[in-house]
Structure 1
Amino acid sequence: MTDLLNLVLDAHGGLPQWRKARTIHVKGSVGGRLWGWRGQEGIYTNADFTLDVQEPHLVYDDFTAPGLRGVFTPDRVMIEAPDGKVLEERTAPREAFAGHGPETPWDRLHSLYFGGYAMWNYFTAPYLLTRPGVQVEELEPWDEAGEQWRRLRAVFPADLVTHGREQVFYYNTSGLLRRHDYAAEVLGAPPAAHYSDAHTAVSGLVFPTRRYVVPVPESGRPLPEPVLVTIDVTEVTVG
């Protein structure tokens, strides 16, 4: 690991604490323009999900209706009734985005896959960067918002479900995440900057509780609009 990754892991609770954690339960609201463009306005207005820290698995409670569960794994997404009956499912869910354009409408299984892997990535970082096959290197610093942020470039293995293979993470002098750049392949790979702040400590781990995503032109300086995704967290618990 790089010196910067060590600093970042310590700032977010420390590697031993992340290794001990089994689940993260999050309540909040996920909004932004993306969902309406895809015909899924309000699908995550009341988001309530639990993720497995050690493996890519996430469950949304009350997904699209009271009592329904939206279950994400990399190879299968499904919606379950309160009695456990599978109401809808899709195997190889990433393949279902093939041929999509910027305004191709989604169904709720598309949204479940995107909202499943994205939240699993966001809420397991920076522990995510220590997974087998992930390569990291420190880039030159970046000046923004009157601060200088250190940057990590991560290259993810093909078998790890994420936005895209190459991503860049920006950290302040304390090692806390402030920005995360990626190009989501399932959206056609438009460059985006994902900002994070309002960090809070929960059971020894540290999480941003306010996030938003905006487009990034070739200059690397993000545009203020449109705000593609917002994530406002009201409650986090670690199991």
Structure 2
Amino acid sequence: MTRTRTPDRLGRDLLGDVLEAHGGLERWRQVETVRATIVTGGSLWAMEGLRQDAHPREMTVSAHTQHASVHPFGAPDQRTDFTPARIAVEKLDGRVVAEREDPRASFDGHGTLTPWDPLHRAYFNGYALWTYLTAPFLLALPGVDISALATRWEEGELWRGLRAVFPAHMAGHGPVQDFYFGPDDLLRRHDYQVDIAGGLPAAQYVYDFTGTGGLLFPTVRRAYRRTAMSAPVWAELLVAIDLSDVRLDIVVSR
């Protein structure tokens, strides 16, 4: 008698296909950091009372732990230093300009239009870009619970999906996030709620993959407000991210 696979088994099988399509987990394990030039825009910044420019910045994220930094931030000689437990703005020589312990708690009571200060912005930037530059490999981290979603027909393709439930110690948009992959098993869409912005629902589409060091990364990301029926509101572009010059720091063995 043929045994029916459980959703968890289906999810693990799909995750294996997805990781292989993006370059393979063994190659990813050799990566220490991912670096990229980023240009960001969209309406989210104005919603949070911030001004966003189109200047390129250097983003650096650790591949296997939640640590990220962007430069410049606030001044040419400043950068951020993000971990889930602390956010800081520092001078390039390491002197602390401003810092906040337990930064997630500072968003308590925030709604969609609650103004952010620079440390709020730095925290959001840190966890969000860490998520984007480590996806889909972050789905294989210990404590991340994966299950298969129903397939969806979108942009003329049939997309398979994974639902990820992240452990409490990981900083992210929210504990439950959905990832959809095309027939080539490359990421197409990422759905989430921005809990620190009043649960703002978003659907992020990714395009234009580039290869570096044997791995594939999308270079165009566009996040739109998402309806209760999971449809993107194309007129409401929340976040636009363009990435270029993606580089990897490789370790000989891990």
Same fold, judged at TM 0.5 (above): yes
Asked if the contact 2:223–2:240 (Cα under 8 Å) also holds between the matched residues in 1, the reply is yes
Asked if the contact 1:28–1:46 (Cα under 8 Å) also holds between the matched residues in 2, the reply is yes
Counting aligned pairs with the same residue, the percent is: 44
Rounded Cα–Cα distance in structure 2 between residues aligned with 1:114 and 1:47:
15
Rounded Cα–Cα distance in structure 2 between residues aligned with 1:47 and 1:189:
27
Matches within 5 A, 1:1-239: 2-42=12-52, 45-239=55-249
Q: Indicate the SS of the match to 1:228.
A: strand
Further displaced range: 80-89 or 21-30:
80-89
Q: Give how far 1:121 is off.
A: 0.7
Rounded Cα–Cα distance in structure 1 between residues aligned with 2:93 and 2:220:
34
Structure 2 residues without counterparts, runs of 5 or longer: 1-10, 250-254
Rounded Cα–Cα distance in structure 1 between residues aligned with 2:31 and 2:216:
12
Rounded Cα–Cα distance in structure 1 between residues aligned with 2:94 and 2:140:
34
Asked if the contact 1:56–1:117 (Cα under 8 Å) also holds between the matched residues in 2, the reply is yes
CA RMSD in angstroms comes to 1.2
Q: Indicate the SS of the match to 1:151.
A: strand
Structure 1 residues without counterparts, runs of 5 or longer: none
Rounded Cα–Cα distance in structure 2 between residues aligned with 1:125 and 1:208:
10
Asked if the contact 1:156–1:166 (Cα under 8 Å) also holds between the matched residues in 2, the reply is yes
Q: Give how far 1:94 is off.
A: 0.6
Per the normalisation by structure 1, the TM-score is 0.97
Q: Give how far 1:43 is off.
A: 5.7
Asked if the contact 2:114–2:197 (Cα under 8 Å) also holds between the matched residues in 1, the reply is no
Q: Which runs of 4+ in 1 moved over 6 A?
A: none
Asked if the contact 2:82–2:122 (Cα under 8 Å) also holds between the matched residues in 1, the reply is yes
Q: Give how far 1:45 is off.
A: 3.8
Asked if the contact 1:49–1:59 (Cα under 8 Å) also holds between the matched residues in 2, the reply is yes
Rounded Cα–Cα distance in structure 2 between residues aligned with 1:225 and 1:94:
30
Q: Indicate the SS of the match to 1:168.
A: strand
Q: Give how far 1:44 is off.
A: 6.9
Q: 1:122-176 CA distances to partner (integer Å, 9 max, x unpaired)?
A: 1101110011111111111100111110001111111111111111100001110
Rounded Cα–Cα distance in structure 2 between residues aligned with 1:218 and 1:28:
30
Q: 1:168-212 CA distances to partner (integer Å, 9 max, x unpaired)?
A: 100001110000101111111122101001011111111000001
Amino acid at match of 2:123: Y
Amino acid at match of 1:234: S
Rounded Cα–Cα distance in structure 1 between residues aligned with 2:244 and 2:87:
26
Asked if the contact 2:207–2:219 (Cα under 8 Å) also holds between the matched residues in 1, the reply is yes
Amino acid at match of 1:211: R
Further displaced range: 33-42 or 209-218:
33-42
Return closer, same or farther for 1:103/1:114 CA change in 2, 3 Å cut-off: same
Q: Indicate the SS of the match to 1:170.
A: strand
Per the normalisation by structure 2, the TM-score is 0.91
